[in-house]
Every structure is written in C-alpha cells, then in structure tokens.
Structure 1
Amino acid sequence: MRVTVHLDSFDQLDPTAYAIIWIDTEGRKWSREGHAGVTLPEWGQCCSSPRGTSLLACEDQREVCLLEALDLGASDGPFEGEGGAAHLNAGISTGPLEARWRVQCIDESVPDPEDGLFADEA
C-alpha cells in the first residue's frame, strides 16, 4: 500500500514550509516526493514505535521525523484525512521542530516511487 503524507505547520522554521512523503507500508520505506523550506533526506526506512511511526534517514538510520499516532499496521487505518503531530529532528539547537502530518492519499496498488527504485535495491 502507498500512503502519501503531507507535513506542514513548521512555523518555527517557515510558515510556508512543507514536505510530502510517500510511505511503502509493505517495504517499510519512505521517500520524499516534494518539499519546500524544510530539508529531509531523499528516502529512508520507517518503523513503528510506541508513539507512532519513525522515519529514519537512509545514510545513518537516525530518526528524522516522528509521525505521532500514525499506526501503519492498524486494521482500521491509516485513512485519508487522518492527522496528528509531527516532530522533525532538524539538528538545530532549539530541539525538534513541531509540525502537523495529514494522510493525503491511500493507494492500494503498489506503484514505483517517483524517482524509481530506492538506492538500496538492485
């Protein structure tokens, strides 16, 4: 399943900043599909945590962002319009940036990401 998530409300950084990420729920990977005013790696792994879903960087597996309360394994979700708090670890001295996430689209098919294969696949 493909889940498209829109991240916004990065008011500490830039009120117009946003990122759109694609999550492959079966492969447990994510990719950045679009962004402005906020920097995210191009792709990485995602994993469940007690607080939600963690997006990990492809290079060093550090947590880039926590999508609080997003449960990719829930039998009744995720669903379009679902949302919650996002905590972006931007590496700035003030700590994580607080933002919001919202499920923009659920696609039950398994299309390729915009830029082709993930870098760790042959």
Structure 2
Amino acid sequence: MRLTVQLDMFNTTRPMAFAILWLDTEKRQWSREAHSGLDLPEWGSLHVDCGNTLVCGPSENTLAYVLEGLNLDCRYRLFEGDSGYALRYTEGRWAPSNGHWHIQCIDNQRGQPEHELFTTGKNS
C-alpha cells in the first residue's frame, strides 16, 4: 500500500510552504514528490512509534517529521481525507514547528513511484 500525504501549515517565513510525500507502507520508505518552502531530503525511512509515523532522512537517526496519529501499522484505519498534526524538526532548533498532514490518496495496487530514489537504494 502506498499513501500520498500532504504536509503544510507550518509556521515558516513562507506561509504557503508544503510538501507532498509518497509513503510506501511495505518498504517503510518515503520519497518527496513535490515541495515548496520546506527543506527536506528527497527520500528517507519511515518508522512507527506509539501510533505516530516518524519521517526520517536517509540516515535513520535523522528525524524530520512526526505525523501524529498516522499509524501505518493499522491499515484498516487509514482513509483518504484523514488528517492530523505534524511536527517538523529542523536542525539547530530545540522545539519543533507545528503543521498538518493530510492523506490525499491511498493506492492499494503495487506500482512504481514517480521518482524511484529509494527503490534502488541510490540517490541519483
């Protein structure tokens, strides 16, 4: 299963900042499909902790976002239009900035992402 998730509403200098992420729930990896005003790597790993999804960079110890309430282990509870709070962690800041996540699409078919960065394990 893959999810297309939009991240937005972060308190940044660019009020229209957003990112569209493609989440692969089987491989527990993600890729950045589109973004503006939010600095994040092109791909990374996903983890679930206490019912929240942790969006990490290619180095698994680099936390970028926490998607509160988005539990990839409970697939039956995932639905298009679901939304929740997102915490954005940036280097050099002690406190995360608050935003929102929103599931735009759920695809139960096996398919290839538009940008296959993480499927090959290479960043090219």
Using the size of structure 2 for normalisation, the TM-score is 0.89
Which residue type is aligned with residue 54 of structure 2? Answer: S
Residue equivalent to 1:97: 97
Aligned length: 121
> Any idea what the Cα deviations from partners look like across 1:43-101, whole Å, max 9, x if unmatched?
11101011500011103531111000101111422110111000011224362111000
Residue equivalent to 1:71: 71
Residue equivalent to 1:15: 15
Distance 2:86 2:43 in 1: 17
8 Å contact from structure 2 (residues 43, 117) kept in 1: no
| Aligned pairs (5 A) from 1:16-31 | 16-31=16-31
Distance 1:21 1:28 in 2: 13
Residue equivalent to 1:36: 36
Distance 2:13 2:60 in 1: 24
Kindly report the root-mean-square deviation, in angstroms, between the aligned alpha carbons of the 2 structures.
1.6
Identity among equivalent pairs (%): 39
| Aligned pairs (5 A) from 1:82-121 | 82-93=82-93, 95-118=95-118, 119-120=120-121
Distance 1:83 1:95, change over 3 A: same
Which residue type is aligned with residue 107 of structure 1? Answer: D
The runs of 5 or more residues in structure 1 that have no matched partner are none
Runs (4 or more) in structure 1 with deviation over 3 Å come to: none
Distance 1:24 1:75, change over 3 A: closer
Distance 1:94 1:75 in 2: 32
8 Å contact from structure 1 (residues 45, 61) kept in 2: no
DSSP 3-state at the match of 2:77: coil
Distance 1:26 1:60, change over 3 A: closer
